[in-house]
Amino acid sequence: MSEKLIYLTKYTKLRGIGLDCAVIPLKRHDLFLIQTTDFFYPIVDDPILMGRITFANVVSDLYSLGVHEIDSVSILISTPEDMPKDEQNVALPGIIEGFKQSATIANVKLLLGAVNENPWMIIGGIASSICARNEFIMPDAAQIGDVLVLTKALGTQVAALVLQHLSNDNEQAKKLLHNFSQENLDQAVQQSHKSMARLNLSASRLMHKYCAHGCTDVTGFGILGHAQNLLDCQKENVNFVIEKLPIIQHLTKAAQILNHSRLLCGTSAETSGGLLIVLPESCAKEYCDEIKLLDNETAWIIGKVVCGSKQAQIVENVEIIEYLSK
């Protein structure tokens, strides 16, 4: 068996979910293809914003491996079969423009992969990069005494539910407006949009500088689900203990009003969430400080790595951090 095939079999855990993207050894030049495909339904009405959010969500899989120099992103769009042409003529150019804006920030070549018809609108992309071995970080080296760092606050699914209920003016909307001002609800929704559109680029670059031992992005499985996925590919028998949950301001209470218990359980889905990074404790504070310096955004030390049997848990009296960026 070739050295590269041994590498691939040993580290990508072909037996189940582990890596956020494919790591494929190439036949020549000791290089690897790092690639991911991601797509989902629209969650905001603004086509440009939707393009930016989708781009950020797609590239985060590569960012979670410390791949911050991405070669290309190919856009994938399916439009509804019954979508009027005049609406398509607004939505499609707007989505592509959003992709272009984020691709410019990320310095990524943008390709138009496919636009076709489908019963529902689906938006996504394929992100690819050719890397040398020292340009990516395998997520399997967590050690006892490490800490967990999160680079974006949680709550995007709750924000989407808030917006949906307010748009429909239903009973849940009345409950929300009884407990919050319209301004506070708008503020929470806008904060979630800002968060989803923000790239995890700086967070990925700094993983190399501060010797990250593993990382995943927090998306559809929620923070606890993704923490468990990350644990499943660890070489050492360790546990992740989450002691703090940063949540977008007002959304903890909104989740309670909407009976969305999954937020505090760590299983609420996130769209284009932050990176959950395993760092040496000695590096973590400085890592968070540099995120603040580069992006004017907060990253948090939210937990620790302890001896165990590869189980992720949220402590019973988890500390909730209400967050609103400046």
**Which tens digit of pLDDT belongs to each residue from 208-235?**
999 999 999 999 999 999 999 999 999 9
Whether residue 203 sits in one domain with residue 96: no
Looking at the predicted structure, is the pLDDT value of residue 40 above 50?
yes
Whether residue 185 sits in one domain with residue 106: no
CA distance 69 to 130: 9
pLDDT at 16: 39
**Which tens digit of pLDDT belongs to each residue from 93-104?**
999 999 999 999
Give the distance between the most distant pair of CA atoms in the chain.
Answer: 66
Of residues 27 and 247, the one with the higher pLDDT is 247
Whether residue 228 sits in one domain with residue 154: yes
Looking at the predicted structure, is the pLDDT value of residue 8 above 50?
no
Q: Can you give the CATH number for the domain in which 39 is found? A: 3.30.1330.10
Tell whether 174 is covered by a domain.
Answer: yes
Looking at residue 36, the DSSP 8-state letter turns out to be: E
Whether residue 215 sits in one domain with residue 105: no
Looking at residue 133, the DSSP 8-state letter turns out to be: G
pLDDT at 13: 41
Tell whether 141 is covered by a domain.
Answer: no
User: What is the average per-residue pLDDT within 237-247?
Assistant: 98
Six-digit token string for 191: 């904060």
Tell whether 253 is covered by a domain.
Answer: yes
Whether residue 116 sits in one domain with residue 63: yes
Between β-strands 72-80 and 109-118, what pairing exists: parallel, antiparallel or unpaired? parallel
The pLDDT > 90 percentage for the chain reads 85
Count of structural domains, the chain? 2
Least confident of 26-35, 258-267, 307-316: 26-35
Six-digit token string for 222: 């929620």
Sheet holding 109-118, edge to edge: 22-25, 31-40, 122-132, 72-80, 109-118
Q: Which domain holds residue 220?
A: 147-323
Confidence band, pLDDT 50/70/90 cuts, at residue 12? very low
CA distance 105 to 218: 21
Whether residue 166 sits in one domain with residue 109: no
Confidence band, pLDDT 50/70/90 cuts, at residue 280? very high
pLDDT at 18: 55
Q: Which of 135, 158, 174 is the last residue of a domain?
A: 135
Six-digit token string for 194: 């800002």
Looking at the predicted structure, is the pLDDT value of residue 1 above 60?
no
Looking at residue 224, the DSSP 8-state letter turns out to be: H
